[in-house]
Amino acid sequence: MKVILASDHGGINIRKEIGNLLEEMNIEYEDIGCECETSVDYPDYALPAAERVASGEFDRGILICGTGIGMSIAANKVKGIRCALVHDLFSAKATREHNDTNMLAMGERVIGPGLAREIAKVWLTTEFEGGRHEQRVKKIAQIENKHA
């Protein structure tokens, strides 16, 4: 599995923590920043990360900002991206099993690094259940095509 990591200025610490986790898990990843000391615009980091997941260059992406909200909204504008904003372990598991999410967003001003690591670990290791969920994910793609 290949993972792309990105954050704005509000998510640098958790992004680095997730980088450490990926190294410990022997998962290949690229960290595209930001390496910013001043504030940046989160869509400038969500967009390239989401495009590189949508293109197939990366299997998954993890996005961090202050709340995770802006990053998730921006990533979900890219066709083929299913990005979940997650701050608990139940949702981390459920969104992989039910929604086959390919991107995860978290907020550094909402949760601490310990919980963020656990959420990422569960999200990275849980498989999509398929079955009845397959047709629901296909219906999301149909919405994208209708509004392309």
Catalytic residue list: 65, 98
**How far is Cα of residue 79 from the mean position of the Cα atoms in its chain?**
15
Least distance (Å) from ligand RB5 to the CB of residue 79? 21
CA atoms lying within 13 Å on the CB side of residue 15: 29
Q: In the structure encoding, which two tokens stand for residue 61, read together?
A: 């992406």
User: Which residue, among 33, 81, 37, has the nearest Cα to 61 in the 3D structure?
Assistant: 81
**Which 3 state secondary structure label does DSSP give 72?**
helix
From the list 42, 45, 58, 123, which residue makes contact with ligand RB5 (rule: CB under 6 A)? 42
CA distance 49 to 68: 14
How many residues sit close enough to ligand RB5 to count as binding (CB under 6 A)? 8
CA distance 7 to 68: 9
Give residue 83's identity as a one-letter amino acid code: C
Least distance (Å) from ligand RB5 to the CB of residue 8? 5
Under rule CB under 6 A, residue 61 binds ligand RB5: no
From the list 45, 70, 85, 122, which residue makes contact with ligand RB5 (rule: CB under 6 A)? 70
- Toward ligand RB5, which CB reaches closer, 81 or 132? 81
From the list 5, 6, 8, 106, which residue makes contact with ligand RB5 (rule: CB under 6 A)? 8
Least distance (Å) from ligand RB5 to the CB of residue 80? 22
Residues at the interface with ligand RB5 (CB under 6 A): 8, 10, 42, 65-67, 69-70
